[in-house]
Amino acid sequence: MKRQPAVLVLKDGTTFEGYAAGYQPEGGVSTGEFVFNTALSGYQEVITDPSYAGQVIAFTYPHIGNYGVTPIDDEAIRPWCAGVVARDFTDVPSNWRSEESIEAMLIRHQVPAIVGIDTRRLTRHLRNFGALPGAFGTAPVAAIESAAHDAVGTDGTDYVSRVSTPTAFTRGDGDLHIVAFDYGIKATMVNQLVDRFRVTVVPSSTSAEEVRALSPDGVFLSNGPGDPAALPKEIAVVSSLLGEVPIFGICLGHQLLSSALGGSTYKLPFGHHGSNHPVKDLTTSRVEITAQNHNYAVTPDSLQRAVVTHVNLNDGVIEGVASAAERCFSVQYHPEAGPGPHDARYLFDRFETLLRHGTMEVA
């Protein structure tokens, strides 16, 4: 495939040359915060994860699209990421489930991409200097440099209201009823909950009073994009519900629950994005391999009314918290595993145990 030359420029001026791919926007410039993902497979689930809103995903694995894509693996109705960077897209995917190529999907959803750059060099740069805003495209270099200079990161921005469902909907027919806040909820999370409960998924703006009116047996706080500190209303709602009903949070939901429990959050240099992060469950001393996608984390020693239950064995980041008194717990990583290993799916069973028996394990 003959491609048009393109340039990627980070906010610090670092430049990479490549070729345009995916959707080509009018004006030939796209911007976002650049982060890298180390997963070897599951690229479709990564691209359609709403937690990447405002970010450009750079894949460290060199060949993306080998097995094509299928709507069955979509984690949302559309990708919310600002773009995709890859060393190479496979032109001819090979898999019996495949219905189209990765590039066809990106074009259909109007997601810009750039290929042919040195993704190893880009990854090393982001590891050394942290996630950086930037720009890429086919416009003149001066225009891309100007856009990169003006590009902003995710700090202080509410991306949740952009990706959340506008209306509530119900799935499943279990005997227990769960209200799930959609901060950017993934389809695999909904499926895991539906396997166990009747689930009402509600917009992120839903009030505590509206939740109480639904008479839930438990509340679920989903993953989502951006800076948790930019969501004071959502934190206030979680705070209001604490102690009234069991709560389980994942990723952004973990950060919001931790904030409601008196904790604070901070931005990691380059975040955790991949499917091979070792995490220790302090309640069992079991080590699990986990899928992760987040740029923010809970500040150590900031929790006032909870204990740490999980830690990242790579860098010591808090990966889980719990409060037995207020019947709530959360994890920073993705136990639904879409994509990723299934080591942590036991947490959905732990939530069911909490709902049915009112007990939970706390280190």
Residue type, 308: V
At residue 362 the predicted structure's pLDDT band, cuts being 50, 70 and 90, is low
Catalytic site residue from 45, 125, 334, 352: 334
pLDDT tens digits for range 345-359: 999 999 999 999 987
Predicted confidence at residue 2, as pLDDT, reads: 86
Q: Mean of the per-residue pLDDT values for the chain?
A: 96
Contact 296, 157 (CB under 8 A): no
pLDDT of residue 363 exceeding 70: no
Domains of the chain: 5-150 (3.50.30.20), 160-357 (3.40.50.880)
3-class SS string, 78-115: CCCECEEEECEECCCCCCCCCCECHHHHHHHCCCEEEE
pLDDT tens digits for range 214-270: 999 999 999 999 999 999 999 999 999 999 999 999 999 999 999 999 999 999 999
Give the CA radius of gyration of the chain: 20
What's the average model confidence in pLDDT over 121-147? Answer: 98
Catalytic site residue from 234, 319, 326, 336: 336
Residue 124: name the closest of 261, 270, 235 by CA: 270
What's the average model confidence in pLDDT over 290-317? Answer: 96
pLDDT of residue 360 exceeding 90: no
pLDDT tens digits for range 63-117: 999 999 999 999 999 999 999 999 999 999 999 999 999 999 999 999 999 999 9
Parallel, antiparallel or unpaired: strands 307-312 and 318-323: antiparallel
Predicted confidence at residue 361, as pLDDT, reads: 67
- 336 among known catalytic residues: yes
pLDDT tens digits for range 177-204: 999 999 999 999 999 999 999 999 999 9
Catalytic site residue from 125, 251, 326, 328: 251
